[in-house]
Amino acid sequence: MISGPVLPAEWAPQSAVLLTWPHPGTDWAGIIDEVEPVFLAIARSILRFEHLVISCEHVIRLQDLERELNTWAAQQGLKGRVHAVPAPANDTWARDHGPITVFVDEEPKLLDFRFNAWGGKFPWEKDDALNRHLANYGVFGTNPMQSVDFVLEGGSIESDGEGTLLATSECLLTPTRNASMDRGAIEQLLSETLGTDRVLWLNHGYLAGDDTDSHIDTLARFCAPGHICYVACPDVADEHYSALAAMEEDLKDFRQRDGSPYKLTALPWPDAVLDNDGERLPATYANFLIINGAVLLPIYDVSQDEDAIRILAEIFPTREIIPIKCRPLLKQRGSLHCATMQIPQGVVTL
């Protein structure tokens, strides 16, 4: 029996998904009416398969949401799946400020890594304290939570559930996160806290408009222990072509534990999505969320959406593919996976 920590893959059984709801005190203030329908679509899709934890700084809005979603769930025969928690927040990216859960001796343990808004780019103090608010509210039951003095966002790592991490050097090695630590020290800390013994480092790849320093969940994802899907740009005139072609070569060089190459599946490259100033936004189909029995796939009202749905259905033939229109999320430089954090089985019970 493994006694050290084990970081489950996203496809492992889950108890809930965490959403940090947008409110007028965030950068969503001017487009709340656009973004809330996206969050509601995500919330309802999650509730079909598992529990939902919502935190929101505005208590009145939170109470309304709890009633609305509980009513909707009851109509579907899904009573008691919504857990609403009042908690201050700077922003809504639960993937990066939410807890990362490992299993020690088969029991869940939540890790509260430091969050500094992707290297100090934005205010972060409320987000950094949010996990403690959730724990004090009893969301995680009696499961222990450990604070870790290391900046780490959930979107910056991908686990195969068997001890291998996928990450980008651009993100984890940026000095604005953990300036005193080199690659070796970071690998050692990840081994001690997450139980990983291999890190596959992508040294190439980026998306224009991204604030995260190339989070792995925008570029490449584990679909199974031996299978990685990734974004590929076929247009030689596109600014991303060279970097993503080099990233593809990195992926081809990676080897599984038995020495065999990974199965690789290229995802469609969506047409450019631009903001009001003509700046490109980081649209990516890699930012999907795996939940119990389904995959929530961000789509962007572009011609490649149907191909993305088809390819995800081929990758996950036993799961329902649920496309969710996420174009409004791009206005704050994120997408579906960035806005969610799964909580593994055995943690959240309502």
In a domain, 186, yes or no: yes
Judge whether 56 counts as a catalytic residue: no
Q: How far apart are CA 317 and CA 256, in angstroms?
A: 23
Q: Residue 180: inside a domain, yes or no?
A: yes
pLDDT reported for residue 99: 98
Please name which of 339, 332, 333 lies closest in space to residue 98, comparing C-alpha atoms. 339
> How high is the pLDDT of residue 26?
87
Closest CA to 49 of 322, 326, 338: 322
Predicted confidence at residue 3, as pLDDT, reads 63
Instruction: Give pLDDT tens digits for 168-211.
Output: 999 999 999 999 999 999 999 999 999 999 999 999 999 999 99
Q: Three-state SS for 287?
A: coil
Q: How many folded domains does the chain comprise?
A: 1
Looking up residue 41, the CATH number of its domain turns out to be: 3.75.10.10
Predicted TM-score of the model (pTM) = 0.97
Helix (H) or strand (E) holding 31: none
pLDDT given for residue 1 in this prediction:
39
Residue 350 domain-assigned (yes or no) = no
Q: Which residues of 228-240 are buried (b: 16+ CB within 10 A; e: fewer)?
A: bbbbbbeeeeeeb
Q: For the segment 42-57, what is each residue's pLDDT rounded down to a tens digit?
A: 999 999 999 999 999 9
In a domain? residue 260? yes
Is residue 349 in some structural domain?
no
Gap between the Cα atoms of 174 and 169, Å rounded: 8
Give the structural domain span for 35: 5-344
In a domain, 189, yes or no: yes
Give dist(CA 349, CA 316) in Å, integer: 27
**Catalytic position from the list 56, 171, 326, 338:** 338
CA dist 285 and 132 (Å) reads 32
pLDDT tens readout for residues 288-313: 999 999 999 999 999 999 999 999 99
pLDDT in tens, 18-39: 999 999 988 899 999 999 999 9
Assess if residue 141 is contained within a domain.
Answer: yes
pLDDT tens digits along 222-278: 999 999 999 999 999 999 999 999 999 999 999 999 999 999 999 999 999 999 999
How far apart (Å, rounded) are the C-alpha atoms in residues 243 and 229? 16
What's the helix, strand, coil split of the chain in %, to 5?
30, 25, 40
Q: Is residue 129 part of a domain?
A: yes
Question: Given this model, what pLDDT does residue 84 score?
Answer: 96
